[in-house]
Amino acid sequence: MASNLATRQACSYLVPGGGERFHIFDDEVAVKVDGTETAGAYAVVTITTAPGGGPPLHAHPGPETLTVLSGEFAFTQCDANGASTFRAGPGAVVHAPGGAPHRFENVSATPSTLLIVFEPEALEFLREAGTAFPRGAEPNMETMLALTAKYHIESIYGGEGTRPEPPRDGATSEQARALAWRFSRANDALIEMIARCGPEQWRAICADTGWTVGVQAHHVASNHGPLATMFKQIAEGQPPTPMTTELLDAVNARHAREFANVTRAETIALLRKGGAMAAETYRRLTDAQLARTGTMLVGTPPSSVAGLIAYLAIGEIERHGQAIRDAIG
């Protein structure tokens, strides 16, 4: 059978030491194949990591396959059975499916190298990280969290399998700092959105509650302080009495009546004041306090303080905020 070689693509060749290279802190990334050469299917890099180096426990949408080229690495994974760690030397291959929490750490006394095959978006993340954190840069967790959020990477702090990180900037732990950052980021996004609302948009109806945009935004703002107070009580071993669904519905209905004509300026001011207080409360909680459990609503299972902050404090901003976004178009 005849073959038209003129239509075939040529192979690429990279000489040893050639190609794009950049640093993320003290780690060197060498790009071997990028997405333009694979029609967006995958990218290949090597990462040479300093002793003790490696990312925090994290999960990303796409899969990645790691091969140890030199040195020794400790790989940690978390699944339904908990966390497990194993060591791997040259030739070992580790595959992390998309969404699987994992991390690696160079446990050798010298710089060691991994070959990694992953989706091209992961390479773009590394490039941006290299721009933000070149060799000699100071760590900045807020900058890194903003970058991981952009690429839908979940960084996990605190709990089994996570890497101990020294707290900075007045936070009691990296987990507390990350939760406070996520809360502030969601709150700031809501403020920015409603600040652009016109009079008609302010009176638009949100599909999830039937409230106006103004009532819904003020509902979120008025919950910042009480939620932070209740979470702190659970963290300190003095949990409040769980509410019934009927009582919660009555409280929400009363709020909707009393603040039917709330102004945008009043709501933004409350979001800023309550948001700052709540974020500072979350930053001051220790890992032990974040692990304590409590029940907020009668009939629901206990949840950790960290889980309550993520689902109620942060999640409610995001869920109600999405309904507001839909309502105002």
| 225-253 confidence digits (pLDDT tens) | 999 999 999 999 999 999 999 999 999 99
Residue 169, pLDDT score: 66
Under 8 Å between Cβ of 91 and 122: no
CA 66/CA 83 separation, integer angstroms: 19
Q: What is the DSSP string of 62-112?
A: S-EEEEEEES-EEEEEEETTEEEEEEE-TT-EEEE-TT--EEEEE-SSS-E
Cα-only R_g, the chain: 24
Crossing angle of helices 315-328 and 174-195, in 10° steps, is 20
- 14-140 and 174-328 agree in CATH topology: no
Residue 3, pLDDT score: 60
Under 8 Å between Cβ of 29 and 46: yes
Residue 138, pLDDT score: 84
CA 153/CA 102 separation, integer angstroms: 12
Residue 278, pLDDT score: 97
Q: Nearest to residue 222, comparing CAs of 293, 280, 277?
A: 277
CA 57/CA 79 separation, integer angstroms: 12
Residue 32, pLDDT score: 96
| Assigned superfamily of 174-328 | dinb family like domain (1.20.120.450)
Alpha helix ranges (H) inside 196-244: 199-202, 213-235
Residues 87-106 have pLDDT tens digits of 999 999 999 999 999 999 99
Residue 163, pLDDT score: 80
Q: Where are the domains positioned within the chain?
A: 14-140, 174-328
**CATH number for domain 14-140, candidates 3.90.79.10, 1.20.1440.230, 2.60.120.10, 3.40.50.300:** 2.60.120.10
Which positions of the chain have pLDDT values less than 50? none
Residue 159, pLDDT score: 80
Task: Report pTM.
Answer: 0.75
